[in-house]
Amino acid sequence: MNQIAKPSVQSLLLQMRFNGQPLSTGTGFVSLSAKGPLLITNRHNVTGRRQDNDKPMSPTGGVPNEVVIFHNLKGQLGSWDTRIEPLYSDPDNEKFCWVEHPALGAKADFVALPLTQIDNVELYPYDLANSGPDMAIGPSEVISVIGFPFGITAGGLFPVWATGFIASEPMVDFENLPIQLIDCRSRQGQSGSPVLAYRSGGMVAMADGSSAAYGGPVSKLVGIYSGRINAESDLGIVWKTKAILELVNSI
């Protein structure tokens, strides 16, 4: 992976469908739990409903019952194949397959979906317990939202890197939820994207005020992007890594 940045294979394009009918696109990434690999993405992606009023997001009024994941093929960097994961375990679409945060439940706009269709798939999971070195990530620091705006790819099925900035104090929770604000021109389809503080190497500022020298790229996972605070703003919502880890550890 000398020529391709690792985060470019860690973000996965998703297509939400109802009985094979495409409804929307989004982004997800993989983490590992004690019970196996998980797809981490936004709750509104899998429900097909807005978090604030529970109304269907698709203009068709439909909500998904399956998600198509465009996975990396094992041993074939730059090649992808689709795997379909069911979102419900019963024909009436009442028993969902994803797992929600153990304390926040449906209030948290992120979920974990156990992966069952991973034959011949190369997984590049994020280690949520070791999300990266303790870099300085304060207000105005640069971050990257790595996903698929409007379902667009950057060639092949590699994601688009959208650049933005930390817009709130990392130690403070927005609206008393484990949320970090960012300032980034992100759009639909990027929901579920990992948000990284990514540095290409050299001297990197650390949280304790020191600097550390790195001979290559280094990154820290800030969290998962889940949309803008409203349609008129470029302020985006990022659920913090620590909250995602709580979910994964509960499985």
Average pLDDT over residues 64-89: 96
H/E run at residue 235: strand 235-240
106 and 167 in a single domain? The answer is no
Q: Domain range spanning residue 184?
A: 128-240
99 and 114 in a single domain? The answer is yes
Is 248 a member of any domain?
A: no
Grade residue 196 by pLDDT with cuts at 50, 70 and 90: very high
Q: 86 or 132, which is more confident? A: 86
12 and 118 in a single domain? The answer is yes
pLDDT at site 206: 85
Phi and psi at residue 32, in whole multiples of 5°?
Answer: -110, 140
pLDDT at site 70: 98
In 87-193, at which residue ranges do the beta strands (DSSP E only) sit?
111-114, 121-122, 142-147, 160-166, 179-184
CATH of residue 226's domain is: 2.40.10.10
pLDDT at site 2: 59
* C-alpha–C-alpha distance, residues 178 and 201, integer Å: 29
12 and 106 in a single domain? The answer is yes
Tokens of 94: 């009442």
What angle is formed at CA 14 by the lines to CA 145 and CA 226, rounded to 5 degrees? 40
Q: How many Cα atoms occupy the beta-carbon half-sphere of 21 within 13 Å?
A: 9
Tokens of 93: 């679409």
Average pLDDT over residues 219-239: 92
Grade residue 189 by pLDDT with cuts at 50, 70 and 90: confident
pTM to 2 decimal places: 0.95
| Residues 6+ positions from 80 with CB-CB distance below 8 Å | 70, 71, 72, 73, 156, 157
* C-alpha–C-alpha distance, residues 197 and 199, integer Å: 7
pLDDT at site 251: 93
63 and 19 in a single domain? The answer is yes
Average pLDDT over residues 140-147: 95
The tally of domains found in the chain comes to 2
What angle is formed at CA 112 by the lines to CA 109 and CA 115, rounded to 5 degrees? 145
Q: Is 208's pLDDT higher than 70?
A: yes
Hey, how many other C-beta atoms are within 10 angstroms of the C-beta on 45? 29
Average pLDDT over residues 187-201: 91
Grade residue 216 by pLDDT with cuts at 50, 70 and 90: confident
85 and 99 in a single domain? The answer is yes
Is 198 a member of any domain?
A: yes
Residues of the chain with pLDDT > 70, as a percent, come to 99
